[in-house]
């Protein structure tokens, strides 16, 4: 950032303290995948005029943290998890977007594996809910815009980078991975082509294990090979789905 040469430092500081007063917040679109559905963690709003609307989870940015740290803090506070996959998406700044004054918010999306513990946080707190993305209607503030943008970004990234694994358990079957892609991208994929492509990418570890307790032929289990991906990333990588 930089300022016109005409302004001096004292003018500038006093401006910030008076008419340029602005709050900065972070809002997180926390995506979770649940074998069937893509979900987002929402919070029941208690703020006029949005009572009983759901909103994204967010908070003001504190003086001792940057935006990434702020997003991480919010994620940990809400989910109890650390080091989630997380991506800054955009800043939202319309004058009237927040009823209490000028609040500019920076949106992040993040990805979590929806296991029982995580589903429980919405049971232990009446105000939290894992809503299916498809079922979300009117949210508080401009959070529908934010959600739409984050979902678009997720879809783009899912096609280009191996981030889908963040939404699955460590060990997964190829069918689970395919289902994830089909659900999130809202399309149908050919089983054989999908498997061939994944095999060619060489980013999966064959665990030599199979499912148990299924009443059909058990599927092989795989894990994401972070190292193999890192090595290949340098010379360009495109998931290409």
DSSP code, position 133:
G
Assess contact for 107 and 89: CB atoms under 8 A: yes
Q: Which stretch binds a second copy (CB under 8 A): 87-95, 179-187, 205-213, 221-229?
A: 87-95
CB 169, min distance to DNA, A:
14
Establish if 134 lies at the interface with DNA (CB under 7 A).
no
CA 46, distance to chain mean position in Å, is 23
- The size of the interface with DNA (CB under 7 A), counted in residues, is 20
- By a kind-dependent CB cut-off of 5 to 8 A, residue 19 interacts, out of a second copy, DNA, none, with a second copy
Assess contact for 75 and 81: CB atoms under 8 A: yes
Whether the link from the prior residue into 28 is cis, omega within 30° of 0, is: no
Establish if 123 lies at the interface with DNA (CB under 7 A).
no
**Token pair of 228 as six digits:** 């193999």
Establish if 215 lies at the interface with DNA (CB under 7 A).
yes
Q: Which stretch binds DNA (CB under 7 A): 21-29, 44-52, 59-67, 214-222?
A: 214-222
Assess contact for 112 and 31: CB atoms under 8 A: yes
Nearer to DNA, 76 or 199 (CB): 199
Spell out a b/e string for 220-238, using b for 16 or more CB atoms within 10 Å of the CB, else e.
Answer: ebbbbbeeebeeeeeeebe
Establish if 219 lies at the interface with DNA (CB under 7 A).
yes
Establish if 96 lies at the interface with DNA (CB under 7 A).
no
Assess contact for 194 and 178: CB atoms under 8 A: yes
Q: Which stretch binds DNA (CB under 7 A): 66-74, 104-112, 210-218, 227-235?
A: 210-218
Establish if 190 lies at the interface with DNA (CB under 7 A).
yes
Nearer to a second copy, 2 or 215 (CB): 2
Give the three-class secondary structure for 92.
Answer: strand
Cα(133)–Cα(164) distance, integer angstroms: 16
**Token pair of 80 as six digits:** 């109890």
Find the length of the chain: 241
Establish if 235 lies at the interface with DNA (CB under 7 A).
no
**Token pair of 216 as six digits:** 């059909």
CB 88, min distance to a second copy, A:
6
Instruction: Give me the residues that bind DNA (CB under 7 A), please.
Output: 173-175, 190-193, 195-197, 210, 212, 214-220, 240
Which residues sit at the interface with a second copy, rule CB under 8 A? 1-5, 9, 12-13, 15-17, 19-27, 43, 45-47, 55-68, 88, 90-91, 93-95, 98, 100-106, 127, 140-141
């Amino acid at each position: 950032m930089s300022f016109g040469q005409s302004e001096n430092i004292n003018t500038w500081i006093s401006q910030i303290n008076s008419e340029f007063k602005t709050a900065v917040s972070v809002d997180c679109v926390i995506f979770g995948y649940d074998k069937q559905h893509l979900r987002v963690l929402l919070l029941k709003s208690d703020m006029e005029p949005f009572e009983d609307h759901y909103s994204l989870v967010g908070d003001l940015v504190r003086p001792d943290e940057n935006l990434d740290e702020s997003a991480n803090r919010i994620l940990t506070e809400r989910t109890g998890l650390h080091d989630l996959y997380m991506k800054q998406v955009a800043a939202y700044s319309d004058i009237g977007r927040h009823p209490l004054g000028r609040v500019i918010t920076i949106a992040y999306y993040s990805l979590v594996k929806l296991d029982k513990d995580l589903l429980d946080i919405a049971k232990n707190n009446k105000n939290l809910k894992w809503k299916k993305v498809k079922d979300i209607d009117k949210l508080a503030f401009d959070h529908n815009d934010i959600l739409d943008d984050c979902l678009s970004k997720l879809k783009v990234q899912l096609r280009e980078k191996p981030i889908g694994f963040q939404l699955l358990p460590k060990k997964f079957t190829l069918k689970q991975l395919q289902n994830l892609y089909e659900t999130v991208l809202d399309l149908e994929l050919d089983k054989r082509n999908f498997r061939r492509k994944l095999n060619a990418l060489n980013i999966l570890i064959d665990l030599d294990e199979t499912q148990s307790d299924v009443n059909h032929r058990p599927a092989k289990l795989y894990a994401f090979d972070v190292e193999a991906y890192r090595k290949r990333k340098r010379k360009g990588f495109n998931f290409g789905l």
